[in-house]
């Protein structure tokens, strides 16, 4: 068996994205397609949480059941407000098609929002991430967690060899600019890996068989879409994105915990309809 045979790519998509991805993975497992056996897992933002859990031995059915639990009293909906979205758009215009310059501008936005108290503290977010990971540490097998340096705009993939603990790497990958604070690592601050691409599927380009589960597959502006990154690959690729029913369950705010359970159920239901296509790629 090739050492570079299968790769699972898990994209960004907020709280609902975590739930929907877990639902899809659970539904596929029920249909006989075990994605947890991937030789490589790439996780971006929401996908970094799911990837960390899947590669550290979490039981898929237990993960799915957790998504169906009632929203806790301390879980509050966050939101990408119109002002923040307008700043994203302005950053795209000012960057003049330079993706690194765009990410630098977004990084400045992220730092300013955190430094002026418009986001939770790093400590609060750390506690939330640790709660989701339930003590998980870097796995022995390949896991890549994506982030972006807010100062340089450079894309930064973290692995177990990066000298950063898993909760810190996942926290950085989930740090939506303007909503959550960048994560400080040494003298640098890092934000959501989705600022480069919604899934960063190109990191799996050397693998023979790739399954991409992408709650937000299209990207926007200078953030590459999944299709743009997988088009032209010699690998066999299956992309799973939300169908109409899943989009309805997810709703308009991907950071709303109230939509978590419907998203998980919709992902599991959708999996039955895509299982044959995914199995053809994954199992040959």
| Domains of the chain in sequence order | 6-76+120-283 (3.40.1090)
Which residue in 193, 213, 29, 225 sits closest to 110, CA to CA? 193
Which residue in 275, 234, 158, 211 sits closest to 6, CA to CA? 211
pTM of the model: 0.95
- Tens of pLDDT along the chain (284 residues) come to 345 699 999 999 999 999 999 999 999 999 999 999 999 999 999 999 999 999 999 999 999 999 999 998 888 899 888 888 888 888 888 888 899 999 999 999 999 999 999 999 999 999 999 999 989 999 999 999 999 999 999 999 999 999 999 999 999 999 999 999 999 999 999 999 999 999 999 999 999 999 999 999 987 778 889 999 999 888 899 999 999 999 999 999 999 999 999 999 999 999 999 999 999 999 97
CA distances from 122 to 102, 158, 175, 182, 216 (A): 24, 19, 10, 7, 25
Q: Is 51 within 8 Å of 145 (Cβ atoms)?
A: yes
Structure letter (DSSP) for residue 176? -
Could you tell me which residues come within 8 angstroms of residue 66 by beta carbon, excluding any fewer than 6 positions away? none
Check if 162 is active-site. Answer: no
Which residue in 23, 58, 50, 39 sits closest to 208, CA to CA? 39
> 161: buried, middle or exposed (CB in 10 Å: 19+, 13-18, 0-12)?
exposed
Catalytic residue among 45, 48, 246, 263: 45
Beta bridge partners of 157: 146
Could you tell me which residues come within 8 angstroms of residue 122 by beta carbon, excluding any fewer than 6 positions away? 114, 181, 183, 184
With left for phi above 0 and alpha for psi between -120 and 50, is residue 200 left, alpha or beta?
left
Which residue in 43, 23, 21, 25 sits closest to 33, CA to CA? 25
Looking at 31-155, list the stretches that DSSP marks H as alpha helix, in order from N- to C-terminal side: 46-55, 60-67, 82-95, 99-115, 122-133
Q: Rounded distance, CA 217 to CA 229, Å?
A: 10
Check if 192 is active-site. Answer: yes
The H or E element spanning position 135 is none
What pLDDT score was predicted for residue 1? Answer: 37
**Could you read off the pLDDT of 160-215 as tens digits, one per residue?**
999 999 999 999 999 999 999 999 999 999 999 999 999 999 999 999 999 999 99
Residue 209, phi then psi, degrees to nearest 5: -130, 125
Catalytic residue among 39, 99, 149, 192: 192
What pLDDT score was predicted for residue 189? Answer: 98
């Amino acid at each position: 068996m090739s050492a570079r045979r299968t790769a699972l790519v898990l994209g960004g998509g907020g709280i609902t994205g975590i739930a929907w991805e877990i639902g899809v993975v659970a539904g596929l497992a029920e249909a006989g397609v075990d994605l947890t056996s991937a030789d490589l897992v790439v996780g971006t933002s929401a996908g970094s949480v799911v990837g960390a859990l899947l590669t550290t031995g979490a039981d898929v059915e237990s993960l799915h059941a957790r998504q169906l639990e009632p929203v806790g009293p301390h879980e509050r909906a966050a939101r990408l407000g119109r002002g923040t979205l307008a700043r994203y758009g302005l950053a795209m215009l000012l960057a003049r098609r330079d993706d690194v310059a765009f990410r630098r501008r977004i990084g400045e936005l992220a730092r300013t929002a955190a430094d002026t108290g418009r986001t939770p503290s790093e400590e609060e977010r750390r506690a939330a991430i640790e709660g989701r990971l339930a003590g998980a540490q870097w796995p022995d097998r390949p896991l890549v967690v994506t982030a972006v340096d807010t100062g340089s705009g450079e894309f930064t993939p973290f692995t177990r060899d990066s000298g950063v603990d898993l909760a810190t790497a996942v926290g950085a990958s989930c740090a939506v600019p303007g909503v959550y604070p960048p994560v400080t690592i040494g003298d640098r601050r890092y934000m959501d890996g989705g600022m480069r691409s919604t899934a960063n599927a190109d990191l799996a380009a050397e693998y023979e068989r790739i399954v991409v589960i992408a709650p937000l597959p299209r990207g926007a502006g200078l953030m590459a879409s999944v299709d743009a990154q997988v088009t032209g690959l010699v690998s066999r690729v299956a992309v799973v994105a939300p169908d109409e029913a899943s989009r309805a369950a997810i709703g308009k705010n991907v950071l709303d915990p109230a939509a978590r359970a419907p998203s998980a159920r919709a992902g599991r239901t959708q999996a039955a309809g895509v299982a044959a296509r995914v199995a053809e790629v994954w199992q040959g």
